């Protein structure tokens, strides 16, 4: 799907890609939407495995940088597929539910991470942890979209770090 996009990808394409028969694929998924739902459900675990280990032990910013790096390592096509899946939300309540659960779970975990860092004296803006987590998640997805239109990875990463410093209350000598 990341190469062809959701609409152009067929169940035959998927079966061939993963090396099973179409009949076998249909034993697990009724259609492509069912497959998307499972992808959306499974994806947060991959993110957690690769990035969340840095929260909250890392510096206030390291965990957020790790998340951006994880996504910027994806191809443009893989990042585009995320937004394609996101666009399916208004038409598919099950996909909407999966995205909602995952995003709210991520927001909760990020909020807890920010709160813990603040309790440890590592937070300096005075903003509520949920406000900071929501701002970081929103900016993250905006930067991810900018990567699709060709803004260079190094620039996005540098801007992410600067924005993170502002939101997390870094001072020059922090």
Q: What is the per-residue pLDDT for 31? A: 92
**105 assigned to some structural domain:** yes
Go through the chain and tell me how many residues it has: 174
Q: What is the per-residue pLDDT for 171? A: 64
Q: Mean pLDDT throughout 121-129?
A: 76
Mean pLDDT across the chain, nearest whole number?
84
**131 assigned to some structural domain:** yes
Q: What is the per-residue pLDDT for 74? A: 79
Give the total number of structural domains in the chain.
Answer: 1
Q: Tell me the Cα Rg of the chain.
A: 18
Percent with pLDDT over 70 in the chain: 87
**55 assigned to some structural domain:** yes
- Residue-range definition of the domain harbouring residue 114: 32-168
Q: What is the per-residue pLDDT for 174? A: 46
pLDDT digits (tens, 9 = 90+) for 28-47: 999 999 998 888 888 777 76
**16 assigned to some structural domain:** no
Compute CA distances 41 → 22, 24, 33, 125, whole Å.
22, 21, 12, 33
Residue 153 has pLDDT above 70, yes or no: yes
Residue 155 has pLDDT above 60, yes or no: yes
Peptide bond connecting 114 to the previous residue in cis, omega within 30 degrees of 0: no
């Amino acid at each position: 799907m990341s190469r062809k996009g959701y609409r152009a990808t067929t169940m035959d394409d998927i079966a061939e890609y993963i090396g099973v028969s179409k009949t076998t694929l249909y034993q697990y998924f009724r259609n492509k939407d069912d497959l998307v739902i499972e992808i959306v459900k499974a994806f947060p675990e991959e993110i957690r495995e690769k990035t969340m280990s840095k929260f909250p032990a890392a510096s206030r910013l390291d965990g957020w940088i790790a998340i951006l790096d994880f996504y910027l390592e994806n191809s443009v096509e893989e990042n585009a597929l995320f937004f394609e899946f996101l666009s399916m939300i208004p038409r598919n309540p099950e996909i909407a539910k999966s995205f909602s659960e995952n995003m709210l779970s991520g927001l909760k975990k990020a909020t807890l991470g920010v709160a813990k860092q603040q309790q440890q004296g590592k937070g300096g803006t005075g903003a509520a942890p949920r406000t900071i987590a929501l701002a970081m998640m929103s900016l993250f997805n905006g930067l991810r979209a900018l990567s699709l239109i060709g803004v260079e990875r190094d620039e996005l990463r540098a801007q992410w770090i600067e924005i993170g410093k502002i939101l997390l209350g870094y001072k020059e000598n922090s």
